[in-house]
Amino acid sequence: MLLTARYVLPVSGPHIENGAVLVRGAEIAAVGDADALKAAHPDEEVRDYGHAALMPGFIDLHTHLEFSAMRGLVDDVPYSQWKIQLMDLESRFDSQDWEDASLLGAMEAVESGITTLADITESGASARSAAKAGLRGFIYREVSTMDKARVPEVMAAADEDIAEWRELRGDGRLEIGIAPHSTYTCHPELFQSVADYAVRGNIPVSMHVAGSRDEYDFVKYGSSRLAVEFRDRYGTGDIGWLPTGVGPVRYILQWGLMDVPNMLAVHCTQVDDADVEVLAGNDVAIAHCPRCNAKLGMGMAPLGQFLHAGIRVGIGTDSPASNNTMDMFDEMRIGLLLQRAVAGHEQFFIARQFVKLATLDAARALRIDDRVGSLEPGKQADIIAVDMSHSHQIPAMYPYSTLVHTANQENVLFTMVAGEVLYERGEWLTLDTERAAARAEEMRVRLRS
């Protein structure tokens, strides 16, 4: 199959005008000039996307597919209030609701050009939906308890689920990991158990770290809304907590989580210079979620400082419950503009850097850049086509700027993973979308009642 378009963006090299990508099986066989590749392969099926960009699929470093049905239900409140209200809504869901909500999220991911995602789930619904959709992904089994006595039980349940979810991997598109939820929901013994488990089994770990001022104040000073209302409301208020005198990053450093082979820290908005040194020194990757961080008033991560320190960083959308859409274009655009507004000309990010953060750099964060993240011969054929023909997009002088400043998820024409077409021009080829859409409305009515 020969895919052609006005632009081809390998990301790892200069863009190609009137370019093409040759796909053979699950892999990319060649990338180059369209006329030259057509001449070299005259019998190949050609799919021409016209005034569009062919590029690597997006790699979303932080999602919760199963919260898709809660989109927009808790808006216009800061993080801690949002979290408390969201947990109230969670209690109204049964197991089938989680399954159908995650299918809705998988639909949006595929339609949005996301080909790989790093999703945190306790129910496993995200793993099953990602497998059905044909997505590539890291699915992390979430664990939490502030009760030291329950740690063995929690870890045993997680181990059982991880073994079961591994059966979903099929052709190897899914990798299963583990995710201690956060500093305010996990006993230190759980952190140590997760670290030992991950090192022993070479299992990837993801965790929300230093995501809000309330979390920072809870860990360091023992006083915040998370220390009082949240813990009292959800049954952990009777478990003692002593202020640690350090922020979340240096707190979890004490419990072995920095020693795991593949650690992904999510958010990291409340960090200082010493924290950045710790993250860099322990080769911890970061999922940067600029829209969620801004929408919930969580703060802004020092992206430039992370990159200067050599930290592997990519972009995540977080859940539709917090961020409303899984739109990587919006994530790139708002993330870029926020950094420019704060850093000014001292550290002026350009559009291409954010496209790279959403693709190749995100692949590096997950340690899969040898397989995906750029259009190169021998890599997996995870490819999307993005329409750039609309009146507000032409003339396109520089394709990276056009993508970041004018495109959105509705411009995605085509999504392919490992050579398999998952979505094309409004049609999902791997999912029963009618049922998922109908169930979404049913769940919305129940959540609002």
For 314-349, how does the pLDDT look when each residue is reduced to its tens digit (9 = 90+)?
999 999 999 999 999 999 999 999 999 998 877 899
The per-residue pLDDT for range 171-220, each reduced to its tens digit, is 789 999 999 999 988 999 999 999 999 999 999 999 999 999 999 998 99
Q: Which domains does the chain have, with CATH numbers?
A: 2-56+380-432 (2.30.40.10), 58-365 (3.20.20.140)
Average pLDDT of the chain is 92
**Phi and psi of 142, rounded to 5°?**
-75, 140
Q: CA-CA distance, 16 to 7, in Å (whole number)?
A: 6
Q: CA-CA distance, 203 to 208, in Å (whole number)?
A: 17
What value does the mean pLDDT take over residues 392-400? 85
Number of residues assigned to the chain: 449
Predicted TM-score of the model (pTM) = 0.95
The pLDDT assigned to 383 comes to 98
Confidence of residue 236 (pLDDT cuts 50, 70, 90): low
Q: Is residue 391 scored above 80 in pLDDT?
A: no
Half-sphere exposure at residue 194, Cβ-oriented, CA atoms within 13 angstroms: 32
Confidence of residue 88 (pLDDT cuts 50, 70, 90): confident
The pLDDT assigned to 233 comes to 65
Q: Is residue 392 scored above 90 in pLDDT?
A: no
The per-residue pLDDT for range 92-131, each reduced to its tens digit, is 888 888 899 999 999 999 999 999 999 999 999 999 999 9
Q: At what angle do helices 95-111 and 125-133 cross, to 10 degrees?
A: 40
Place of tokens 């990159």: 307
* DSSP conformational letter for 256: T
